[in-house]
């Protein structure tokens, strides 16, 4: 074998894409450095605002409230017009007793036990989303760890191992073990001599024995050494209890063709690596934290129907959705528009033709989440799963276990389904809520047989059926960014856009926060420059 026979990065990505599919390919690309941490370096310190200058902010999502906080701090007269009756936009939580209605007119009432909740939008915060973490700390939002990877959770494929879910630790250890054995065989057979010296091969074999838990002559097989990582058949105990005995590895050929390898990849994306966080009491605590600073600026139930601007001011026309016959107007020197593009593209806006084209060009992703409440926390009590995520190739895609209130009695809530931008997100979103909940229970019981006996109630949220967003997030491609991104983010006369769609971190709250900061700074620079000119 010569040097050219070794896998390049492109070869590896190609192989992953062919064998595991596009989702695994994207995950692999992410782990190879395409996902970058936040660019946040510190809170803005804007100079003093021009005397008397006012700013209208449209939408009280995190991008809009970030801009409101920074601009008011600089001295601007700020007002926020918000369509709904609460702050936060897609940052919200469904609690026991909540009632909500989608664009099709279907109303759901959350019957969870008091204190239980589900986050239909954002539900976790990566460790490198520095801007969001900064504002959480500043505004007193208490955070707790979110468990993404739990080696005791499951990966599951319908057509593998008789449809039986496998523990993450078992699959991961076996993947390492069999891969190490194959590489050790290549070294033993001198297949690596063109690139490794004899001493290199000896060092490699030594490392493979440990990394892959190999025994004997570099073989991965049933052993106590492997069981230290994949788990035992009989676990170490005390007294005259059974002695530790090794578990049996999964069959290599079936594992190779199972599809479980690709399900493991999501655990290791840079965005999901520990430590992740969630607010104590639900994601809406972040929205409440921001509203604690700028809530007095927010006017709720204000639906924008037209945006006009001249060289000297911006005029916004809006209605109360409960009284659409009465159109009201508000005028300001500047405007930060935090309305999702899926909604803004349907509103007449006085901007350049190129900017209107950019606003209309960005599609929005599809996402469905279903929360299920059960009589007891059987995943803890029966299966020793405390937090973490189970991945499956069933249409529910994932099951996420709560990382709070461990060992508590009474009902508990799982995220029982989360499909995003895949066929399942489209097919299940076409169903009504009752059907989606029933489907989550029916699929979930293939992993947790306790579902049917323990199920109490559920709620289900479809983002493109949400009247104030009509989608989950701005679905950018490289081609769309090249054609429209700069135009979308540029200030058009006296109006600038903000929101996760105006970021390179779409779908994440960090993108919204950074865009709010960036829009504020550029608006302020233009306003002060015009004053001093």
Last residue of a domain, one of 465, 493, 522: 465
Strands (E) in 333-410, as ranges, are 334-337, 367-374, 388-392, 398-401
300, 82 in Cβ contact below 8 A?
yes
Smallest Cα–Cα separation from 277: which of 420, 285, 391, 24? 285
pLDDT tens-digit readout, 407-428: 999 999 999 999 999 999 999 9
- The whole-number average pLDDT for the span 10-15 is 41
Closest CA to 336 of 476, 521, 504: 521
Shared-domain flag, residues 338 and 380: no
Give me the CATH number covering residue 316.
3.50.50.60
Q: How far is CA 324 from each of CA 89, 149, 301, 314, 319, rounded to the nearest angstrom?
A: 21, 48, 11, 22, 6
| 460 shares its domain with 389 | yes
Give me the mean pLDDT over the 438-443 stretch.
98
Output the domain CATH number for residue 453.
Answer: 3.90.660.10
Quickly tell me which residue has 């007119």 as its tokens: 105
pLDDT tens digits for 331-349? Answer: 999 999 999 999 999 999 9
In a domain, residue 416? The reply is: yes
**Which tokens in the block code for residue 1?**
């074998």
Residue 10 has pLDDT above 70, yes or no: no
What domain range includes position 416?
143-152+274-279+365-465
Quick check: 28 pLDDT over 70?
Answer: no
Long-range contact set of residues 229-235: C-beta below 8 Å, sequence gap at least 24: 229/169, 229/173, 229/176, 230/167, 230/169, 230/170, 230/173, 230/174, 231/167, 231/169, 231/170
Q: With a cut of 90, say whether residue 161 has pLDDT above it.
A: yes
Tens-place pLDDT, residues 350-408: 999 999 999 999 999 999 999 999 999 999 999 999 999 999 999 999 999 999 999 99
339 and 318 part of one domain: yes
Domain annotation covers residue 115: no
* Number of residues written out for the chain: 533
Closest CA to 435 of 385, 346, 377, 370: 370
CA distance 217 to 483: 57
Domain count, the chain: 4
Confidence at residue 380, expressed as pLDDT on a 0 to 100 scale = 98
The residue out of 413, 442, 465 marking a domain boundary is: 465
**What is the C-alpha to C-alpha distance for residues 285 and 142, in angstroms, rounded to an integer?**
8
Alpha helices for 139-256 (secondary structure H): 168-188, 198-211, 224-230, 252-256
CB 428 within 8 A of CB 368: yes
- Does residue 265 lie within any of the structural domains? no
Say yes or no to pLDDT of 298 above 50. Answer: yes
| Together in a domain, 484 and 352 | yes
If asked whether residues 458 and 375 sit together in one domain, one would say yes
Q: What is the mean pLDDT of the chain?
A: 92
- CA atoms within 13 Å, Cβ hemisphere of 370: 29
Please tell me the predicted confidence (pLDDT) of residue 531. 87
Closest among 120, 148, 154, 122 to 394, alpha carbons compared = 154
Asked whether the predicted pLDDT for residue 18 surpasses 50, the reply is no
Q: What is the pTM of this model?
A: 0.89
The helix (run of H) or strand (run of E) holding residue 325 is: strand 323-332
Q: Using a pLDDT cut of 70, give the percent of the chain over it.
A: 93
Domain holding 237: CATH number?
Answer: 1.20.1440.240
| Among 517, 512, 507, CA closest to 476 | 507
Q: DSSP state, 358?
A: H
């Amino acid at each position: 074998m010569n040097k050219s026979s070794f896998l390049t990065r492109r070869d590896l990505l190609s192989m992953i894409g062919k064998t595991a599919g596009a989702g695994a390919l994207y995950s692999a690309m992410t782990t190879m450095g395409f996902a970058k941490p936040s660019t946040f370096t510190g809170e803005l310190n804007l100079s003093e605002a021009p005397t008397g200058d006012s700013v209208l902010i449209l939408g009280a999502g995190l991008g809009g409230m970030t801009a409101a906080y920074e601009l008011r701090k600089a001295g601007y007269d700020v007002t926020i017009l918000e369509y709904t009756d609460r702050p936060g936009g897609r940052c919200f939580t469904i609690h026991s007793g909540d009632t909500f209605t989608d664009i099709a007119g279907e109303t759901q009432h959350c019957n969870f036990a008091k204190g239980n909740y589900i986050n239909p939008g954002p539900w976790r915060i990566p460790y490198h989303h520095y801007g969001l973490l900064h504002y959480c700390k500043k505004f007193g939002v208490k955070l707790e760890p979110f468990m993404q990877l739990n080696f005791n959770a499951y990966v599951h494929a319908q057509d593998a191992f008789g449809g039986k879910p496998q523990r993450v630790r078992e699959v991961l250890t076996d993947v390492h073990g069999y891969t190490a054995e194959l590489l050790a065989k290549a070294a033993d057979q001198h297949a690596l001599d063109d690139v490794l010296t004899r001493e290199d091969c000896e060092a490699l074999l030594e490392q493979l024995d440990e990394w892959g838990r190999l025994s004997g002559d570099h073989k991965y097989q049933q052993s106590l050494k492997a069981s230290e990582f994949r788990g035992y058949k009989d676990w170490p105990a005390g007294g005259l209890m059974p002695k530790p005995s090794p578990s049996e590895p999964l069959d290599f050929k079936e594992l190779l063709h199972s599809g479980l390898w690709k399900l493991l990849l999501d655990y290791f994306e840079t965005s999901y690596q520990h430590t992740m966080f969630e607010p104590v009491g639900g994601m809406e605590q972040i929205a409440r934290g921001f509203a604690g600073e700028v809530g007095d600026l927010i006017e709720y139930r204000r639906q924008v129907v037209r945006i006009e601007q001249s060289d000297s001011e911006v005029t916004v026309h809006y209605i109360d959705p409960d009284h659409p016959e009465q159109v009201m107007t508000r005028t300001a020197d500047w405007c930060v528009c935090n309305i999702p593009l899926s909604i803004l593209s349907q509103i007449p806006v006085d901007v350049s033709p190129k900017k209107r084209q950019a606003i209309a060009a960005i599609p929005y992703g599809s996402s469905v989440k279903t929360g299920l409440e059960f009589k007891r926390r059987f995943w803890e009590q029966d299966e020793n799963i405390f937090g973490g995520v189970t991945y499956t190739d069933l249409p529910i895609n994932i099951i996420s276990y709560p990382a709070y209130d461990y060992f508590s009695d009474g009902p508990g809530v799982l995220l029982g389904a989360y499909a995003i931008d895949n066929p399942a997100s489209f097919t299940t979103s076409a169903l009504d809520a009752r059907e989606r909940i029933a489907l989550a229970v029916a699929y979930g019981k293939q992993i947790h047989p306790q579902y049917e006996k323990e199920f109490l109630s559920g709620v289900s949220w479809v983002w493109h059926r949400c009247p104030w967003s009509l989608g989950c997030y701005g679905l950018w491609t490289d081609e769309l960014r090249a054609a429209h991104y700069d135009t979308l983010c540029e200030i058009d006369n006296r109006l600038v856009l903000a929101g996760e769609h105006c970021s390179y971190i779409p779908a994440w709250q960090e993108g919204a926060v950074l865009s709010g900061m960036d829009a504020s700074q550029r608006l302020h620079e233009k306003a002060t420059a015009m004053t001093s000119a």
